[in-house]
Amino acid sequence: MSLPRRGAPDLGDARDRIVAGASSAAAMLEESLAAAGTPPCRHTFVRRFDNQARAAAAAVDTLHAAGAPLPPLAGLAVSIKDLFDVAGQPTTGASAALADAPPATADCPAVARLRAAGAALVGHTNLSEFAFSGLGLNPHHGTPANPVTAALDATPRAPGGSTSGGAVSVATGAAWAALGSDTGGSIRIPAAFQGLVGFKSTQSLVPLDGCIPLSSSLDTACAITRSVADAVRMHAILAARTPRPAVRPLEGLRLAVPRTLMLDGLDDHVAAAFDAALAALSAGGARIVEINLPELAELATLNAAGGLPAAESWTWHRRLLAERGARYDPRVAARIRRGETMSAADYLDLLHARRDWIARVQAAFAGFDAALSPTVPIVAPPLAPLEADDKLFFATNALVLRNPAVVNFLDGCALSLPCQPPGTLPVGLMLWAPAFADDAVLGAALQVESALTAREA
Q: How many CA atoms lie within 13 A of 421 on its CB side?
A: 8
User: Which one is catalytic: 32, 79, 95, 162?
Assistant: 162
Q: At what angle do helices 268-283 and 438-454 cross, to 10 degrees?
A: 90
181 among known catalytic residues: no
162 among known catalytic residues: yes
User: Which one is catalytic: 95, 186, 201, 217?
Assistant: 186
23 among known catalytic residues: no
Residue 344 CA to residue 338 CA, distance in Å, equals 14
ω into 133 cis (within 30 of 0): no
User: Which one is catalytic: 24, 32, 79, 81?
Assistant: 81
Residue 136 CA to residue 129 CA, distance in Å, equals 8
- Looking at the annotation, which residues are catalytic? 81, 162, 186
